[in-house]
Every structure is written in structure tokens, then in C-alpha cells.
Amino acid sequence: MASVVVFLVALPLCIGVAAASGVSVSLGIISGIVGGLIVGFLPGSTFQVSGPAAGLAVLVLEFTTEHGVELLGPVVLISGLLQMVLGMMKMGRLFQSISLAVVQGMLAGIGLPLILSQTYALVDSKQLGAALKNLAGLPDLATDVLSDGQKGGALLLGGLTVVLCFLWKKVPAPLGRVPAPLVAVVLGSLAAALPMFDVKKVVVDDMLDAIDVVGPTDLGGLLDPAVLMMIVTFTIIASAESLFSAAAVDRMHTGARTQYNKELFSQGVGNTVCGLLGALPMTAVIVRSAVNVQAGGKTKISRVLHGAWLLGFGLLLPGLLGLIPVTVLAGILLHAGWKLFNPPAFIEMWKADRGEGIVMFITTLAIVVANLLEGVLAGLAVAIVLTVLRMSTMTIRRSTEGDFARLELRGNATFLRLTRLIDALESVSGASRVEIDARGIVHLDMACLSEIEGWAEQRRKAGAEHVSVLLRGDQSAQEAAESAVARAQIDPEQSATAHSEAIAAHPHGAESEPVPQFAARGYVNGSVHLADPHQPQHDHNRNDQHRGRPYVHGAPIEGELTDGLRPVQPTFDEPAYYQPWYSGPVVDSRQWDGRGDQPLHPYDEGHFR
């Protein structure tokens, strides 16, 4: 049953894409047959259904208009061979790494020219050429429609087709399960038989006569640079559209996932065969694939059989195709183009991330103005620049107290932020004691590192009392002192001695702020403190404001921290609410929030993180 439903959707799409591509409708059906009978058997994806793609229709039309239909087969053939090579080189997964904004921009850039071209076909007129020409010609087209009754009738029939495609999804089952394109073709063909409609019909050729097998003499035209560029374009776009479709289809079912490299190879086999037969290029088509999943397709049989039904129809009932109005097919493709263009996606992307929204817009605009390949490359270039700029984000916090100044750097310090770093360094040049804390820098390139070290050396030579630079993994004097205290036995006199010795031993310990004789580190309101054994003890109970804080300023601490593993025992007895603190390299210790189930901050090597 699933194969029949897919066939009913695929048939009008094959015909419509062929008509939009400016070639015989038989070539569209042949591509659909290859997508079913050949690609359907091959590994890669179980649910994807392949056939002529609406996204390549405008490209094919432009190519055949300039170079002729005779050269289409060789171009598709070479594109298919390149896809097979890419699949064998395991390049399929690379298409998953492309920016989502570029992907959506590419789809929109495919959809908008398709809409513009099918607007002309909707009124039985010939399009002018590229997207911008078609856009510029819309006012004249509107004038022709108003002055020509035949074009007005075509517009009415095609417009009703578009409305039907948009609203059919709201029709309840079981009637709503019938594919909208099939309903549009049947009703449109019946309406076109009425005397009030004088519209163009599909021109049908014999399918076997339409086959033009490529021979060695047909390959000479491939040396043209424009033709070579089209081969690259077909290869990239057909591969991308197929693999993007695979990702979307995988989200629709719970069966086997797509094997991207094998799927890319299979698509290459299909396009190689299509090229040999002189047919249209094919891709995996999201519309057919989605219908296959929704109709209950579980194996490859449904997509293979849909190709068999296309073959039988093309051989036995080709005359029925001559009853289909061109404007109806244009309406179906205009609806497909609108779904590709998807204007709400621009708004959603802009709201989610304005930078990505700009990438999406530039990709679409470049495709419409230039061509598909150049537009995608432009979008990728903008996306890379945006990523580099974001990876170079660096925050600088400056604090001063008397003649002491401190710069705290976080993020990524690259040459792109060198000017800002220089300005920050110059802003603290007047201080006699300076600490540059760069431990929060994830990536520090040589340009910024050299600038920091050079500036520090200059300040020392200029007579600065103290200039220190802390890089990732370094400790300040205060932290080194606290770490030493934590590793000593918790005895007031011993801890005070250890604290003093640690400060004296640190390279910059003499410049640290004086610290009273604390026994151990505690926490108040999320801040790091040292517990002072000489302060009066607080009343720690369940209702106390300090509930859930393991060590509150002023609480005596007992126990040992020498081995880095044994917990400190607080003087109060509420272990369920007051979790012990560990010193040393233990990273699983926690501070808890008082409910006993919400960890706040882990500790790494005895330091508050």
C-alpha cells in the first residue's frame, strides 16, 4: 500500500519537475523509475525515495537553454561518478557539518527562483530566464494576464491548485490521506475539460523514444569551463539535498538510521544511470520520503515498487499525461517552492541568533543574484567569519585599589582582539603593582601572549614595584597560601605558621594582603572565606540563616586534611545538612544548598571553582 501512495505522489512531481526543467516529461518519469528500481535496492537509507528534484529544475532549465538537452546526459553522468567517488572517500558525513543557516539559506535560495519561474507557467507564459529577470518581468506579466482572457483562465485554475495544496492537510481522514498533488492533478484535468478553460496541456513523448544513451562522442562538450562548473554544482547540490533529506527523514521514524557514505554512493549510482539514459538528475526527495514513512513503509520494497508503478504507467498509459494542464503542475511546484523558501524560517533564525540570520539571508540573496554554487560558497564564507569572530570573544575586567591594579582576562585571546588587549594594558600602566590574570583564557595565541609578556617586561624595566602574569594553571599568592593551610593539620597555631610560610615562599607572597590566623576555609553566601577559631561560634540549627553552608565564618573546625581524602568534621552535628569539605585533588566534594540534594560547586585541587 505504501508503494502505491508514494507512486501517486511521485507521478505528478516527476511530470512537474520535467516541465519546469524545460525537457520532455518522459525524462522526469525515467529519473523517477531509476530512483525506485535501482537506487531503491541499494544500501544507505531504507526510507528515502529518490527522483527528479524540484530544487534542480531552475538549474537544469538554465543549462539546457544555453547548452542544449544533448549535453545534459553527460553532465549528469559525470556528476554521478563524482558522487560515487565522494561516497567511497567517506565524505558523506561532511555534509552534516554544514551550518544550519547555510542549509536553510540554500533551500530558500532554491525555492525563491522556483516560485518566480512557476509564476509564469501558472499563467501559460514562458519565463524570461534567471530569477532576477523573472522578478523584474512580473509587472509586465500582470498586465498580460489582465488583458488576456486565456491567461486569466490559466491563473484561476493554477491559483485554485495552489490553494488546494495549502489547505488539503486540513481535510480530515480518510479523504485527507489522499496526496494533495494527486487530487490537484485529477480535479485540474477534469476542470480543464470544461469549455470555459482553454489552457495548455502537457506534451507527451514516447518514453522509449525519449531515451538518448550517452556515447563517447557526446563527452567532447565537457571541456567547456561553464559545463565543468555545472558538473560541480550538480554534484554538490544533489549530494547536499539528498543527505539533508536523509537527516530530516531519520527524525520521522525509529528504524535504521541512514548510512551517509553508502547513501551518497547510491545516489551517485542513480545519477550515473540517469546520465547514461539522458534523463534528469535525481536526488532523494523529502516529500516522497515523508509520504513513504507516513504510509507505513518499513522496508525498501515500497520505494522499489513505486518505481515499478512508474514504469508501468509510462509504458501502458502515457496518453493520460496529455490531459494534465501545465498550470496545475505549476501550482504544485509553486507550493513546493514556497515550502523550500519558508519565510517564517528567516524570522525564527533571526530571533534565535541574529548572526545566523544574517548568514541565512546572505546565502539566499547570493544564490538569487549569482547562482546556487556561488551562493552556497558565499554563505559558508560568512558563516566561517562569524565563527572566527565569536571564537575570538574576550572579556576584560579591570579593578584598582590604590597603586594596585588587576586585569582579569576570559575567553579567547587572538590577534583579532589584540587592539583591545593593548588598550587594557595601557589603562593600568600607571599602577606600581599590577596582576594580569589570564587563567580564564581558553585560547591564547602568540600575538597576544607576546604582547602581554612584552608589556610586563617593559613595566618591570620602567621601575614598577611588581608585575605578575598568571596563565592557565598558575596560582596567585593568596591561593597558594590557602592551599598550604588546607593541607596542614587543622591546629590554629600550626595553620597560622603554615599560612605565613606559604606566603613567604610564594614568588609574590611579600606583596599579598595581610591575612589573620585562620584555621580552615569556609563559605558565606557563596564566597570563599577562612574560618577564624578566635571568633565566637554561631548557633547552627535547621532554621539558622546559615543552614546548608558547611563552614560559616567564625565556626571552629576540627579534623585533619593532610592526606587530601579525609573529611573535616564540623563541631555541630547535622551531617544531613552540612556536607564536609575535602582538600587536595578530590573533585567530587560538594557544597550543598540546605535541601541536601542540590550540589553547587565542586572543588579541584582544594580550590573553590
- The contacts of residue 110 (CB under 8 Å, 6+ apart) are 54, 55, 58, 237, 337, 340, 367, 372
463-486: per-residue pLDDT in tens?
A: 888 999 998 876 665 565 565 555
- The contacts of residue 285 (CB under 8 Å, 6+ apart) are 10, 13, 49, 50, 51, 53, 54, 245
* Final residue belonging to a domain, choices 342, 375, 408: 342
- On whether both 284 and 154 belong to a single domain, the answer is yes
pLDDT-based confidence at 492, cuts 50/70/90? Answer: very low
Is residue 559 in a domain?
no
How far, in whole angstroms, is CA 331 from its chain's centroid? 31
- On whether both 326 and 407 belong to a single domain, the answer is no
Identify the pLDDT of residue 494. Answer: 52
Q: How many CB atoms lie within 10 A of CB 396?
A: 17
Identify the pLDDT of residue 482. Answer: 60
How far, in Å, are 160, 163, 332 from residue 166 at the CA level? Answer: 10, 5, 10
Read off the pLDDT of each residue in 104-109 and give the average, rounded to a whole number: 87
Instruction: Tell me which residue has cell 488583458.
Output: 147
What gap in Å lies between CA 138 and CA 129, rounded to an integer?
12
What gap in Å lies between CA 25 and CA 561, rounded to an integer?
83
Identify the weakest region by mean pLDDT among 53-62, 83-92, 444-453: 53-62
- On whether both 164 and 21 belong to a single domain, the answer is yes
- Full domain range(s) for residue 50: 2-342
Identify the pLDDT of residue 478. Answer: 58
320-354: per-residue pLDDT in tens?
A: 888 889 899 889 889 888 988 999 999 999 999 99
Identify the pLDDT of residue 404. Answer: 94
- On whether both 111 and 209 belong to a single domain, the answer is yes
- Of residues 491 and 183, more confidently modeled: 183
3-state SS class at 409: strand
Is residue 420 in a domain?
yes
Indicate the number of domains in the chain: 2
Is residue 493 in a domain?
no
Identify the pLDDT of residue 590. Answer: 38
Instruction: Tell me: pLDDT of 126 over 70.
Output: yes
Average pLDDT, rounded, for the chain: 79
Q: Which of 147-151, 183-187, 314-318 has the highest mean pLDDT?
A: 183-187
* Final residue belonging to a domain, choices 452, 474, 496: 474
- On whether both 317 and 412 belong to a single domain, the answer is no
- The contacts of residue 94 (CB under 8 Å, 6+ apart) are none
Is residue 514 in a domain?
no
How far, in Å, are 149, 253, 287, 392, 578 from residue 291 at the CA level? Answer: 38, 12, 6, 45, 59
Instruction: Tell me which residue has cell 532554491.
Output: 110
- On whether both 125 and 265 belong to a single domain, the answer is yes
Domain containing residue 398: CATH number:
3.30.750.24
Identify the pLDDT of residue 310. Answer: 92
Is residue 128 in a domain?
yes
Is residue 347 in a domain?
no
- Of residues 554 and 141, more confidently modeled: 141
Start-end of H helices in 126-179: 131-136, 138-147, 149-167
- On whether both 411 and 337 belong to a single domain, the answer is no
Q: Answer for the pair 552, 538: CB distance below 8 angstroms, yes or no.
A: yes
How far, in Å, are 83, 407, 440, 578 from residue 420 at the CA level? Answer: 47, 13, 17, 45
- On whether both 330 and 423 belong to a single domain, the answer is no
Instruction: Tell me: pLDDT of 534 over 70.
Output: no
Nearest to 380 by CA among 533, 518, 240, 505: 240
Is residue 329 in a domain?
yes
Is residue 567 in a domain?
no
- On whether both 451 and 335 belong to a single domain, the answer is no
- On whether both 66 and 139 belong to a single domain, the answer is yes
- On whether both 168 and 311 belong to a single domain, the answer is yes
285-309: per-residue pLDDT in tens?
A: 877 888 888 777 788 899 999 999 9
- On whether both 284 and 162 belong to a single domain, the answer is yes
* Final residue belonging to a domain, choices 437, 455, 474: 474
